[in-house]
Amino acid sequence: MKKVILGLSGGVDSAVALALLLEKGYQVEAVFMQNWDSAINNDIKGNPTSKFEKCAQTIDYEDALKVAKKLKVKLTKIDFIKEYWQKVFAYFLAEYQKGRTPNPDILCNNEIKFKSFLEYAFSKDADYIAMGHYARKEERAGVTHLLRGKDNNKDQSYFLSQLTSEQLKRVLFPIGELSKKEVRERAFQQKLAVYDKKDSTGICFIGERDFELFLANYLPAQKGLMKTIDGKVIKEHNGLYNYTIGQRKGLDIGGLKDYPPAPWFVIGKDLSANVLYVGQGYHNEYLYSNNCIVKDVVFRGDKDLENRFFTAKFRYRSEDVKVTLEWLDETTLKVIYPDQERAVTPGQAAAFYEGEVCVGGGFIDQVYFDQERRLY
């Protein structure tokens, strides 16, 4: 029997993934990954602080235990707090200090779930690791490719887009062929305690608390001016890291005497001057771009891009955008999308597709309209 170590998160997806592996005859052990210290948190210098509420991680572990006992599988709790702090959270803060909007879920996959956890599993003589992700994989000409999950509404290939072919070879995605509805039905049939558990949202280390207040514990807010693109001052902002491109909620602008009643949106940032630029209208021209630079690209398979049809996702759940890809160096792509796209944001991930196959992904670095760089 092949030995599989599965990441059991306490949610319904990984619970059903575990059940399916057992049905297929794998020798399975489960691991709960503790990536954040929910009892004693640290400040930016690593000093203990008690400013935060407890994370839902404790509840998740208790639910994972219930599932493991029901399915008679060994569950081990593994501490990846140090690795998460150094490789995910520190990067998360550094990107916000640059005025960007990072995606810690992708970093967690790259550095923790499919690296630190993978190394742990193979130190225990596992043949594979497994996760409850809605994704699939396929071998083509000796290369392991990532495919979209069958459930388009839950497909998570965007979050896995930067995994290497070598990492994917060692991973199983048991629920990739299922819809969310089918997963819940299977969990109910097996009488798993998490069959109706609500899907987790957001980031574990923030949870349900106020995002702005959370960041203020690590990045002291530097208030500055909120201006229109032609330099007119609207009001004061609460720190550039609290805003993202295309944001409307939280600006608290309305009923200004000299402006029409259209809603306001974030359209740019000037980090050096600590200025936040805002403009009116969802389709404000400064929110649109038609090309960008994507760095730290992982690309699986043939890197010859000629005569191939690609699409891209610039954020999770966004529609696919038709793109042309051009290599600038071995890990940097120029991405051209002549139909234009709204709010392509530095720091976010760009995932690239060729039909059902996710060929790779990287991080958005610079955004342009023709030759003019946007103020992002």
Residue with tokens 């696919």: 320
CATH classification (class only), 221-280? mainly beta
Query: Cα Rg for the chain, rounded, in angstroms?
Result: 22
Provide the strand spans (E) within 213-287.
224-227, 233-237, 264-270, 275-280
- pLDDT tens digits, 111-156: 999 999 999 999 999 999 999 999 999 998 889 999 999 999 999 9
Q: Which of 55, 204, 292, 358 is catalytic?
A: 204
Residues of the chain with CATH 2.30.30.280: 221-280
Q: What is the DSSP string of 303-327?
A: ---TT--EEEESSTTPPPEEEEEEE
Strand partners, 288: 342
Given the residues 55, 108, 292, 358, the one annotated as active site: 108
| 358 is an active site residue | no
pLDDT score of 48:
45
288-373 under CATH 2.40.30.10, yes or no? yes
Q: Mention every residue, 6+ apart, whose C-beta is less than 8 A from residue 266.
A: 243, 244, 245, 246, 247, 248, 251, 276, 277, 278
Q: How many CB atoms lie within 10 A of CB 61?
A: 19
CATH 2.40.30.10, the chain: domain bounds:
288-373
pLDDT tens sequence across 79-103: 999 999 999 999 999 999 998 999 8
Is 373 in a helix, a strand, or coil? strand
Kindly report, as residue ranges, where domains of CATH 3.40.50.620 are found in the chain.
3-132+174-211
Task: Answer yes or no: CATH 3.40.50.740 is held by domain 3-132+174-211.
Answer: no
What angle separates helix 12-23 from helix 57-70, to the nearest 10 degrees? 20
What mean pLDDT do residues 33-55 have? Answer: 56
Report how far Cα 253 is from the mean position of its chain's Cα atoms. 30
Q: Is 108 a catalytic residue?
A: yes
| pLDDT single digits (tens) 154-206 | 999 999 999 999 999 999 999 999 999 999 999 999 999 999 999 877 676 66
pTM of the model: 0.92
Residue 46: the pLDDT is 45
